[in-house]
């Protein structure tokens, strides 16, 4: 995929994602979510079903895992507890926007 600035302009986070990001920040799970998203965004896994590292889906609290799965699903990737994932329609732009948001929150939360 060729990068230009027009793809980013159309990739805005939904209000629900922003609320989940705020909750993630409060729960101090942003860095783990960033690892999960960044591992796969750089691999170009948007062509079909893929697997994620189950360790990145392992959270001390079940609520944290559910929150993360919901956040990723709002980015057009269906993520399951067994580590399997299925991209939905055109996920790259939305996942890229999520990555940027997680990266900035991670930097700000130090």
CA distance 104 to 90: 23
Mean pLDDT by 10 residues, the chain (110 residues): 41 85 95 87 65 86 95 89 83 84 90
Q: pLDDT value at position 67? A: 96
Q: pLDDT value at position 103? A: 92
Question: Which strand (E) or helix (H) includes residue 77?
Answer: strand 77-79
Q: pLDDT value at position 41? A: 62
CA distance 58 to 51: 14
- Residue pair 94/75 in contact (Cβ under 8 Å)? The answer is yes
Q: pLDDT value at position 42? A: 56
CA distance 17 to 24: 10
Q: pLDDT value at position 48? A: 77
- Residue pair 50/40 in contact (Cβ under 8 Å)? The answer is yes
Neighbouring CB atoms inside 10 A of 75's CB total 25
Q: pLDDT value at position 28? A: 95
pTM, to two decimals: 0.81
Number of H helices, E strands in the chain: 5, 3
Q: pLDDT value at position 92? A: 76
């Amino acid at each position: 995929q060729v990068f230009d600035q027009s793809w980013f302009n159309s990739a805005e986070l939904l209000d629900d994602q922003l609320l989940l990001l705020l909750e993630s920040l409060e729960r101090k799970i942003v860095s783990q979510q960033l690892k999960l998203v960044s591992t796969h965004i750089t691999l170009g896994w948007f062509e079909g079903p893929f697997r994620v590292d189950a360790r990145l889906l392992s959270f001390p609290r079940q609520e944290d895992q559910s929150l993360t799965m919901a956040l990723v699903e709002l980015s057009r990737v269906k993520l399951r507890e067994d580590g399997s994932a299925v991209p939905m329609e055109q996920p790259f732009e939305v996942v890229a926007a999520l990555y940027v948001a997680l990266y900035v929150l991670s930097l700000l939360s130090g």
